[in-house]
């Protein structure tokens, strides 16, 4: 009996020691995250643009084939939609089902192409140089992990947006504002509060999307357990810095896309572009995009390559700065 009591006491003491050790480990892990370096906004942006311009040959060698596959998938999807437009609009089951399958396949190919580019560009920035690349397309465990992380990120972002929409609808409903009301909404206190709640919901959703997405590529490439959760941890205390980096790197890409679209529509529609009603504009713009589909896909492929180099390069540079490591070497696939 005494031996049994001694064994139970030893087990209890051992369990208490393990609990204390676990608490110390978790505390150190939290402190390690808090004591990491801040993301240097100016330096990260400057190095990202330097990476784009100084390594443009390697970037093109890494990205041209994945970008070509992505554009080809988008082009074939648009061609099928254009050639079966009447059947799809008439809700015919066969063409509509095929279009749904083709669209899903096209999106999956584009996501995987982006995953291949993200892994290769991030490895290059983190120290595994890929010089002299003529054509590149790798399919390995890291690429599949990146693909899965991007798919989960897209699903999570959609869920966050739906949650923000639901919260906004509930807030306006409680304020007595019909969602489909055509009348002007008065600035009463309940309506103002509902508007503030809606803004807060969408801002919170956007910030969470930023936190779980900003460091996905470098954590997937450089860490065994990288991904959405690790990205969320690393952006702690650096949300505004990450937002500033993403805004400066992403704005030129967005302006390029908008400018290219404006030039394409101007060349297709002529001066009448500015005299069209919104309904006429969207109808004729769709037709113009179909007529100029091939040059548009080529243009978007180029923007896709440049934007990927800036965004993935900036993320990897910020990751190195966040960890305070000058030479981060990703593990081999």
Give the tens place of pLDDT for each residue, 63-117. 999 999 998 998 888 888 888 878 877 788 888 888 899 899 999 999 999 999 9
**How far apart are the C-alpha atoms of 322 and 43, rounded to whole Å?**
12
- Regarding pTM above 0.85, the answer is no
Q: Which residue has the higher pLDDT, 18 or 196?
A: 196
pLDDT at position 5 over 60: no
pLDDT at position 34 over 50: no
Q: Considering the chain, what percentage of its residues have pLDDT values greater than 70? A: 73
Q: pLDDT grade, residue 13 (50/70/90)?
A: very low
**How far apart are the C-alpha atoms of 116 and 139, rounded to whole Å?**
7
Q: What does the mean pLDDT of the chain come to?
A: 80
**Per-residue model confidence (pLDDT) at position 179:** 61
**Per-residue model confidence (pLDDT) at position 14:** 43
SS3 15: helix
Over residues 287-295, the mean pLDDT reads 70
Highest-confidence segment of 89-103, 184-198, 276-290 = 89-103
The pair phi, psi for residue 214, each rounded to 5°, is: -65, -40
Q: pLDDT grade, residue 122 (50/70/90)?
A: very high
Least confident of 165-169, 236-240, 279-283, 292-296: 279-283
**Per-residue model confidence (pLDDT) at position 143:** 93
Q: Which long-range contacts (CB under 8 A, 24 or more apart) does 216-219 make?
A: 216/146, 216/149, 216/150, 216/153, 216/315, 217/118, 217/119, 217/121, 217/122, 217/146, 217/312, 217/315, 217/316, 218/122, 218/126, 218/315, 218/316, 218/319, 218/320, 218/328, 219/319
pLDDT at position 268 over 80: no
**Per-residue model confidence (pLDDT) at position 30:** 44
Over residues 232-240, the mean pLDDT reads 92
Over residues 226-248, the mean pLDDT reads 92
**Per-residue model confidence (pLDDT) at position 98:** 87
Confirm if 333 and 141 have CB atoms less than 8 A apart.
yes
């Amino acid at each position: 009996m005494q031996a049994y009591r001694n064994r139970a006491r030893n087990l209890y003491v051992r369990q208490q020691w393990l609990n204390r050790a676990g608490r110390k480990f978790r505390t150190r892990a939290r402190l390690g995250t808090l004591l990491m370096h801040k993301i240097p906004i100016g330096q990260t942006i400057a190095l990202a643009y330097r990476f784009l311009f100084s390594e443009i040959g390697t970037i093109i060698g890494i990205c041209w084939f994945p970008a070509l596959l992505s554009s080809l998938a988008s082009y074939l999807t648009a061609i099928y939609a254009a050639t079966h437009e009447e059947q799809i609009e008439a809700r015919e089951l066969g063409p509509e089902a095929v279009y749904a399958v083709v669209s899903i396949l096209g999106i999956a190919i584009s996501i995987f192409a982006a995953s291949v580019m993200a892994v290769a560009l991030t490895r290059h920035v983190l120290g595994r140089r890929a010089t002299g690349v003529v054509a590149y397309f790798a399919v390995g465990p890291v690429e599949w992990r990146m693909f899965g992380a991007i798919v989960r990120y897209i699903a999570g972002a959609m869920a966050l947006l739906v949650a923000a929409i639901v919260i906004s609808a509930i807030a306006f409903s409680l304020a007595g504002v019909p969602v489909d009301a055509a009348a002007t909404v008065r600035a009463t206190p309940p309506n103002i509060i509902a508007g503030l709640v809606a803004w807060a919901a969408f801002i919170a959703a956007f910030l969470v999307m930023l936190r779980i997405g900003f460091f996905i590529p470098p954590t997937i490439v450089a860490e065994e357990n990288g991904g959405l959760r690790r990205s969320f941890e690393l952006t702690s205390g650096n949300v505004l810095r990450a937002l500033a980096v993403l805004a400066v790197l992403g704005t030129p890409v967005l302006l390029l896309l908008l400018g290219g679209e404006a030039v394409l529509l101007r060349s297709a529609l002529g001066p009448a572009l500015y005299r069209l009603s919104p309904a006429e504009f969207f109808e004729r713009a769709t037709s113009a995009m179909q007529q100029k589909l091939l040059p548009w896909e080529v243009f978007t492929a180029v923007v896709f390559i440049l934007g990927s180099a800036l965004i993935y390069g900036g993320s990897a540079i910020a990751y190195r700065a966040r960890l305070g490591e000058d030479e981060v070497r990703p593990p081999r696939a």
